[in-house]
């Protein structure tokens, strides 16, 4: 346990009446690490149990695709020009969205957050924070979807025009406005109130004093330098009556990632003929991550290099919270709305480390266990990612196979890789694709010039 996080207490004191004392809670990492081998064994057993039936676990629509979360795909876009103009003219306030806000507005508008029809109101927000469920329907929702503001003049019953880089993207009908208990939100959603966690830091320092919730009327999708296909478009391109395995990532795809999603197509709980949707998040992540536009270019060159009809590609306008287990559920819900029946859950998925000590906030298999636990309720199946390693004798194999056969494992840390990239050194092809390395080198050179 860490001592009280006084920094967060001072930041949140004015905005969280009756907020919890800011104890910078750290999950019991030592205990988790000690039981890693047991946890991994349990995870593998649970994954194998999903293969008990050859029938799909999901409930398909008439189209042959998995039904969206809540039963139907939400579409909030206003298309009639006169009505759109009238909606804009009726607004009382205008608010410019941050990059994170814009991602949420887009996913609400196109149905990525189905069944939500707007930003959570106060009642729904508090229920999701405490119970990870929507009030009334009791449907799962991993993290609250909120709009923040510092505008004191906004009152309930008004409309707010939401803009992004000067573009009108939506109108929010304000149903409720409140001062959120940010300490409680971060404690429940991220498992910690410590400012050393990037999600907690974001909530405390980037978001405004108030949250405003209510129905969203979509006007236009944010103009981006990379295309983000809507759930409806992605679903239309997916084969019917077929397992669709989603691979989520926020970094360039290297050889080990490729092995993971290729092997997922042959997982025990995935039917023959499945396809994999590589669905990277291209919105804000962590400060030290590679920019979204650069990641997009690495995916595009790799897509052309792989050229495999069983591997589909699309890009997700989602802002990462690094919230570990609860964010795994959020990702599964979103991918279900995009037509995916299975979801690859990586080790320490959406995990984060202390900005001071480097200690992990979550256990290595916390997200996998959480996803496996809730997958049946979502009508999906979790595919725990394998621990693959590269060996001199046999190429990529699982770590267990390498140990059992006494193979020589080759390793290259992310830090060393970045050093080699900056220094112009040759990157081994067993670690990274040449096409991806080329894009990253070009970015590094442009950044230093």
Q: Which residue do the tokens 């080699």 mark?
A: 420
Partner residues linked to 100 by β-bridges: none
Q: How many CB atoms lie within 10 A of CB 15?
A: 18
Q: What is the pLDDT of residues 340-396, one digit of tens each?
A: 999 999 888 999 999 999 999 999 999 999 999 999 999 999 998 888 999 999 999
Percent of the chain topping pLDDT 70 = 85
The single-letter DSSP state of residue 289 is S
pLDDT tens digits along 287-344: 666 777 888 999 999 999 999 999 999 999 999 999 999 999 999 999 999 999 999 9
Distances (CA, A) of 6 to 138, 209, 390: 35, 19, 44
What are the backbone angles phi and psi of residue 161, rounded to the nearest 5°? Answer: -80, 120
Mean pLDDT of the chain: 87
Give the model's pLDDT for residue 56.
55
Instruction: Check if the beta carbon of residue 226 is closer than 8 Å to that of residue 282.
Output: yes
Using only C-alpha atoms, what is the Rg of the chain?
22
pLDDT tier at 42 (50, 70, 90 boundaries)? very low
139-152: per-residue pLDDT in tens? 999 999 999 999 99
**What is the average per-residue pLDDT within 219-239?**
95
Strands (E), 56-143: 93-96, 118-119
Predicted confidence (pLDDT) at residue 153 exceeds the cutoff of 70: yes
Contact yes or no for 67/338 (Cβ under 8 A): no
Q: How far is CA 30 from CA 117, 355, 361, in A?
A: 42, 18, 11
pLDDT of 33 > 80? The answer is no
Q: Which of 295, 254, 299, 298 is nearest to 278 (CA)?
A: 299
Mean per-residue pLDDT, 396-424: 92
Looking at residue 199, the DSSP 8-state letter turns out to be H
Q: How far, rounded to the nearest angstrom, does the alpha carbon of residue 257 sit from its chain's CA centroid?
A: 16
Mean pLDDT of 69-96: 97
Going by their DSSP bridges, the two strands 275-278 and 244-247 should be labelled as: parallel
Using DSSP's 3-state secondary structure scheme, residue 108 falls into helix
For residues 54 and 193, the model is more confident at 193
Mean pLDDT of 155-170: 97
pLDDT value, residue 378: 97
Lowest mean pLDDT among 90-104, 170-184, 265-279, 421-435: 421-435
Tokens encoding 426: 């040759």
Segment among 35-39, 124-128, 218-222 with least mean pLDDT: 35-39
* Per-residue pLDDT at 288: 63
Portion of the chain with pLDDT greater than 90, in percent = 76
CA–CA distances in Å: residue 63 to residues 66, 285, 329: 9, 34, 25
Mean pLDDT value of segment 124-141: 98
DSSP string, 232-277: HHHHHHSPTT--EEEE--SS---HHHHHHHHHHTT-TTS-TT-EEE
**Structure-token pair, residue 118:** 């707007």
The pLDDT value given to residue 250: 86
More confident residue, 415 or 180: 180
User: What does residue 287 show for φ and ψ, rounded to 5 degrees?
Assistant: -60, -35
């Amino acid at each position: 346990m860490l001592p009280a996080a006084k920094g967060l207490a001072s930041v949140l004191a004015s905005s969280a009446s009756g907020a919890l004392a800011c104890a910078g809670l750290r999950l019991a990492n030592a205990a988790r690490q000690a039981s890693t081998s047991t946890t991994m064994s349990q995870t593998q057993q649970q994954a194998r149990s999903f293969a008990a039936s050859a029938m799909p676990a999901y409930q398909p629509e008439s189209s042959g695709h998995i039904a969206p979360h809540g039963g139907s795909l939400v579409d909030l876009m206003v298309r009639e020009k006169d009505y759109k103009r009238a909606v804009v003219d009726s607004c009382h306030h205008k608010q410019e969205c941050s990059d994170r806000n814009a991602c949420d507005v887009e996913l609400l508008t196109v149905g990525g957050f189905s069944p939500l029809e707007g930003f959570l109101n106060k009642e729904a927000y508090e229920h999701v924070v405490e119970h990870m469920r929507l009030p009334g329907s009791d449907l799962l929702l991993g993290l609250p979807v909120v709009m923040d503001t510092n505008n004191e003049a906004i009152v309930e019953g008004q409309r707010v025009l939401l803009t992004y880089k000067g573009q009108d993207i939506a109108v929010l009908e304000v149903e409720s406005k409140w001062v959120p208990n940010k300490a409680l939100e971060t404690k429940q959603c991220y498992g910690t109130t410590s400012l050393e966690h990037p999600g907690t830091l974001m909530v405390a320092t980037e978001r405004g004093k108030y949250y405003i919730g209510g129905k969203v009327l979509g006007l236009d999708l944010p103009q981006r330098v990379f295309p983000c296909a809507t759930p409806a478009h992605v679903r239309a391109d997916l084969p019917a009556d077929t397992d669709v395995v989603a691979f989520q990532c926020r970094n360039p795809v290297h050889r080990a990632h490729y092995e993971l999603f290729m092997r997922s197509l042959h997982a025990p709980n995935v039917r023959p003929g499945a396809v994999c949707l590589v669905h990277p998040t291209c919105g804000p992540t962590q400060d030290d991550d590679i920019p979204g536009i650069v990641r997009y270019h690495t995916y595009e060159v790799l897509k052309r290099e792989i050229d495999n009809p069983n591997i589909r590609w699309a890009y997700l306008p989602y802002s990462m919270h690094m919230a570990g287990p609860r964010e795994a559920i959020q990702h599964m819900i979103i991918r279900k709305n995009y037509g995916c029946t299975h979801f690859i859950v990586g080790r320490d998925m959406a995990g984060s480390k202390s900005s001071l000590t480097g200690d992990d906030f979550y256990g290595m298999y916390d997200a996998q266990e959480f996803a496996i636990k809730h997958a049946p309720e979502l009508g999906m199946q979790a595919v725990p990612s394998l621990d693959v390693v590269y060996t001199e004798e046999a190429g990529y194999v699982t770590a267990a196979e390498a140990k059992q056969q006494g193979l020589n494992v080759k390793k290259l840390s992310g830090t060393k890789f970045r050093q080699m990239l900056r220094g112009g050194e040759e990157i081994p092809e067993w670690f990274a694709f040449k096409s991806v390395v080329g894009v990253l080198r070009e970015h590094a050179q442009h950044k230093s010039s």
